[in-house]
Structure 1
């Protein structure tokens, strides 16, 4: 009896495997993701999201796009649909970006093409210029944009405790209206000043102009 029992214990038939405890897993099974793979997948997904975000079109107003086009055409002196270093620098300055020489050269190296196969002179097309300026405009501080607009309007010098300051007066609004081809009546111009002149000096200061643009 004991010998037969021992024989039974030493047998390794198919049914004996059911009673063998499962071994602890020492690593991910084939096709499963362990911690390392999970981290790699996370990094890959993050990179994909960043790429998708960078490929999203930049939203500009029609007026901003028109300003970009006009600046390019104004300084494309030979009208070949391309501009060089000097033309690029002044075109960017006209749009409010007084960039350093290093930054202009960086843009040309990244977006430009040689003027000729063996030439070191780089040119940038309108499409590339529009992309560069769209990125810069979208990244610009809104207050800087407002102040740039203020500088186009303000032409009346006023002495203050902090020295001379420029403000927007009736004559300035007349000038801007004339430049824009707007035929405004005198009463309309006076009404614009009265509406936004908070300190009743018949002028619009920088702070008042910022409040106007922000809708405050």
Structure 2
């Protein structure tokens, strides 16, 4: 984080976990290139455009929200409000299904340990098999070692994750 005095607790909101706030802060810090603890909407918009994310519906809505705010720079609290409002919108089953299919590359109708290992490898994550097995176990409602589309939908649309 940019400042050692920064504390996620200052930004606590109902339904938001510490790691979610810290992830949004990490994104904020990426856009806060001059270290002022403010992001100019113009810079955020140009960053999104350079990453070619304009077609993403959530990103498009965020950009629309920023345009409505005008040219006023955003502090972290305002940025968090915008981002969490979008994170909180319920994903449709169709949206979740698209993500599920990214995991289920062998089209078996479920996410297996093999699928999860592949995704982790593609993302450059070196997670031990035990951690991946635990992820599957947490999402797997019938404990058969596979995550069905129904399991995945429940996991992706709930506000807190099972421990």
Residues of 2 paired with 1:62 and 1:190: CA distance? 21
Q: TM-score, normalised by structure 2?
A: 0.52
- 1:103 and 2:38 aligned: no
Instruction: Quote the Cα distance in structure 2 between the aligned partners of 1:77 and 1:153.
Output: 35
Alignment of 1:1-216 (within 5 A): 58-59=13-14, 60-81=16-37, 82-88=39-45, 90=48, 97-100=58-61, 101-106=63-68, 108-109=69-70, 112-113=71-72, 123-138=73-88, 140-141=89-90, 147=96, 151=99, 154-159=102-107, 168-174=111-117, 175-176=119-120, 182-185=127-130, 189=133, 192=136, 196=140, 203-212=146-155
Partners of 1:147 and 1:133 lie apart in 2 by 19
Residue by residue over 1:104-156, the C-alpha shift from the partner in whole angstroms, topping out at 9 and shown as x without a partner, is 301x32xx52xxxxxxxxx3222321232234434x12667x939x8389433
1 CA distance for matches of 2:134 and 2:29?
36
Normalised by the length of structure 1, the TM-score is: 0.42
Q: How many residues align?
A: 133
**Which has the higher Rg, Structure 1 or Structure 2?**
1
- Deviation at 1:80? 3.5
Deviation at 1:185?
3.5
Alpha-carbon separation, structure 1, partners of 2:31 and 2:92:
27
Whichever structure has more strand as a proportion of its residues is 1
3-state DSSP of counterpart to 1:99: helix
State the structure with bigger RCO (CA 8 A, min sep 6), 1 or 2: 2
SS in 2 for 1:97: helix
